[in-house]
Amino acid sequence: MTTLPTRAVAIVTGGSRGIGRACARILASRGLAVVVNYVSDEKAANSLVAEIGAAGGHAIAVKGDVGVEADVMAIFKAADSLGRLAVLINNAGVVDVVARVDEMTVERLNRMMTINIIGTFIPSREAVLRMSTKHGGKGGVIINLSSVAAKLGSPGMYVDYASAKGAIDTFTLGLAREVAAEGIRVNAVRPGLIDTDIHASGGVPDRIEKLRDQIPVKREGSADEVARAVCWLASDEASYATGAILDVSGGR
């Protein structure tokens, strides 16, 4: 059975729904205290905390925008109150409505890059400060959520989102090599078409139906399927994996 560090803490950004929610459930079931970060859906975050508690685990909900440094610091302060940070899942991210590049505003691009890129950099910085043996830590794992869009480019739809996720791939490789000798493993997962509400938030609620036939396995994935891959990379079964980018995309 896959095991994870016990008596330790995990932070899941954007943890109240979708892939983040599924990750939080698995991590809690394997003995970690989980910080469920959310930005607006307090009800969903609290329901997850209650669900984890009912199953015998421990979790707290912490509001915060990962693109705002002060909010990130508050998230990590809450994690510090629970114990030693062992796992960071950089899951929070956004898409926008379907648009071509020649229709994109600076405001849209700033939001996209701030949340998806800076919102991964700042939490990772704070995690390294706590995990790195260079700073007196005991090691840990950082998992970044990328997207198969980084390979496909998402033309005519979300080139800005795809570009942000391409940056996450590069960041994963660079940070992994930077801290590999300091007890920290850094990996990423690239989901494909997954059955979550991110498609509706991008204004295309029927996107999966339109694209299902383009998926080699002829079906969409589930949040649980992605979360199991994320949590495998966070586990000691993946102890020699760092700088890895794992596609969970049905072959797409």
Domains in the chain with CATH codes: 9-248 (3.40.50.720)
pLDDT value at position 213? 81
Given the residues 38, 158, 161, 240, the one annotated as active site? 161
Residue 212's pLDDT is what? 80
pTM of the model: 0.93
Copy the structure tokens of residue 15: 């943890």
pLDDT of res. 214: 84
CA nearest neighbour of 25 among 59, 76, 1: 59
**Over the stretch 194-213, which tens digit does the pLDDT of each residue have?**
987 664 555 567 767 777 88
For this structure, is 161 an active site residue?
yes
DSSP label at 141? E
The C-alpha atoms of residue 98 and residue 186 are separated, in whole angstroms, by 31
Secondary structure class of 165 (helix, strand, coil): helix
Dihedral (CA of 97, 227, 185, 140) sign: positive
- Tell me what pLDDT residue 210 has: 74
Q: Under 8 Å CB-to-CB from 145, ≥6 apart: which residues?
A: 19, 89, 90, 91, 93, 168, 188, 189, 191, 230
Specify the DSSP element, H or E, that contains 90: strand 85-90
For each of the chain's 252 residues, which pLDDT tens digit applies?
455 444 799 999 999 999 999 999 999 999 999 999 999 999 999 999 999 999 999 999 999 999 999 999 999 999 999 999 999 999 999 999 999 999 999 999 999 999 999 999 999 999 999 999 999 999 999 999 999 999 999 999 999 999 999 999 999 999 999 999 999 999 999 999 998 766 455 556 776 777 788 888 888 889 999 999 999 999 999 999 999 999 999 988
